[in-house]
Structure 1
């Protein structure tokens, strides 16, 4: 199974969690997913009043410089770690 296939399988697994991860865990999943699929964040920072978008943007921006393959590997590991608690 290739890295991309493992990544896609982990993304599907994350969607099947029966319990909701913490906000911070969700933001980390989002950031790693975006880094793995899009690459570095090059979007403008959202306004101060859009707290949800701002938090997502900041978490994704922290991943800047990480390769997409490294982000995929981290995402897979993080989903496996979370699945012990949320499946």
Structure 2
């Protein structure tokens, strides 16, 4: 699906030029969908309590577990499009 990959790459570029910075929960979802689309299911141990940011990122990515890469790409594209205003 070269069209999906091209649209995903455009959405990644667009995400860096959004008119307003999204709230933290939205940023975590963007991160999680990107990681799921590019790397698949989360692996490795959940970061410890002292690493709050790493733990939040891991948890957000883990919520996407089982979603196929194409589905994650489409969800990422849809989310970024909704933020472009």
Tell me what 1:25 maps to: 26
Tell me what 2:48 maps to: 47
CA contact (8 A) 2:19 2:84 kept: no
| C-alpha deviation, 1:19, in angstroms | 1.9
**Partner Cα separation in structure 1 for residue 75 and residue 23 of structure 2:** 18
How does the TM-score come out when normalised to structure 1? Answer: 0.93
Q: What is the root-mean-square deviation of aligned Cα atoms in Å?
A: 0.9
Structure 1 portions without partners, runs of 5+: none
How does the TM-score come out when normalised to structure 2? Answer: 0.95
Structure 2 portions without partners, runs of 5+: none
